[in-house]
Amino acid sequence: MSNLATLNTADSLSGISTRQIEESLERANDAYRNTDDSIISDSDYDALIDELARRDPGHALLTEVESEADFGAGKVRHQIPMLSTEKVKTDSELSAWVRRVESAAQNIGIRTPVLLSVTAKLDGMAGRLKDGVLASRGDGLTGNNITHILPKLVVHGVGDGELVMIQSYFDEHLSEEFKHPRNVVTGAVGADTPRPAAMKALNDHSIHFVSFTTLTRIDSRTDTIVAQLPEIREYLLGNTPYPTDGLVLAVESPELRKELGSTGHHHNWMVAAKTVGETATTAVVGVQWQIGKTGRLTPVIQLKKVTLSGAVIANVTGHNAGKVEEMGIDVGAMATITRSGEIIPFLVSATPAPNGASLPTHCPACTEHLKRRGDFLVCINNECEGRRHARLHHFFNIIGSIDLFGPVACDKLIAAGVRSIQEVFAITAAEFEAMGFGPGQSANLVAELEAAKTRPVDDFRVLAAMGISNLGRGDSKKLLRHTALKDIPF
């Protein structure tokens, strides 16, 4: 099998409770659909879904369309439900779907093989444009009215489709600020106050609404689709200017579609063939440990450079200490990587280093002795310089409305002894210069901070920027539906 994902991570999930899987999926769904950030790779998300399906095939997360936050100009009731798409990741899963299709065809007297259509699976935000009204998918039955952004979009057709960004625009302008083009689209459409970069993307007409009816399609049949899929995939994805996440296979016959029917989650006459992408195996030359705002250490696996899907890859995340330890990752290990969605480097597997993994015992930033909490190594020193830097950078990144304060600027602030956001807002131009900023840059920093005091900022961003453990933008929105920001003690 060359074109579909074969990764089986069920063994690595065996120690996680079903409730933990539910909570992880709920948080990931919220971030994926309601914020301009992602908290989990597509491959990890699919692994959690597969494990939940193995344990509880009838679970609501598998049988219902995920919920969506409220945004836009009210609600739109879908006359025909907008459902999700069932995924297949192996040739055997695809063959099983083909058998179900052919069995249903025979039940109603349709001759086999059955005609199928294949299109690229766009990776953006699902929507429906009907009678001049653009609505998000929502929960499948009711979506958000987002017609107000139509003048900013390039529109290709009507009906069901996807709001997507031109991949080349993202690569050139936004790849350092956002993890994925989908995050830009979600932020531009769903945020009360989108980031300036997302608004610029809208104004540059780099976000399109693409009706599925306008996509290039290739016809195939149930008796040849498995063998043809690699060639079809190469052609379709190579000629699509938008981010993609595999292929969509659909039955063409209206009568057979009716016979196959739908669940509350997906149509049985359609599947998404998810791709793991090209893989490469290379040597591990080091492991660098980065500290986050809450003190957790994240391992960055340093690789002997390798070209993968047209990009040179030198680093990939190791996620946490538990995973590094389990996979035996250290100098001398061999790592197999892919690019999730053809974009994000992702660790698939590893041949362990001769002596296994060697985990750090002290914080790389402050040398404090590390604590082990589950799969994570944690620095508990609240005054750790690395944690203070991460908190400062996190604040500016999440607030999203204050420019000029990137990682390098945060480095200088922390080196100068700055300990809080309140202190940053009190710094004068002369003090910025003393920290190593140039005269013009210092004046610009002061002006930017003054301007930021009068810019409107979403309450959920303020709350999420505080760096409270496990309280991201999605959960902040939920909390603020019940409690006003002014009533939350900090």
Q: Which residues are catalytic?
A: 121
Distance in angstroms (rounded) separating the CA atoms of residues 150 and 2: 40
CA separation (Å) from 196 to 50, 139, 184, 401? 37, 28, 11, 7
Q: Which residues contact 235 (CB under 8 A, 6 or more apart)?
A: 218
**CA dihedral defined by 108, 110, 112, 114, rounded to 10 degrees?**
-100
Q: Determine contact, residues 73/150, Cβ cutoff 8 Å.
A: no
Q: Which residues contact 214 (CB under 8 A, 6 or more apart)?
A: 156, 157, 161
Instruction: Tell me whether strands 125-130 and 159-165 are parallel, antiparallel or unpaired.
Output: antiparallel
Q: Which residues pair with 339 in a beta bridge?
A: 345
Residue 344: how many CB atoms within 10 A of its CB? 17
Q: Which residues contact 393 (CB under 8 A, 6 or more apart)?
A: 406, 407, 410
Q: Which residues pair with 210 in a beta bridge?
A: 156, 162
Instruction: Tell me whether strands 84-88 and 266-273 are parallel, antiparallel or unpaired.
Output: parallel
Q: Determine contact, residues 127/175, Cβ cutoff 8 Å.
A: no
Phi first, then psi: what are they for 349, rounded to 5°? -160, 175
Give the distance, in angstroms, between the CA of residue 454 and the centroid of all CA atoms in the same chain. Answer: 31
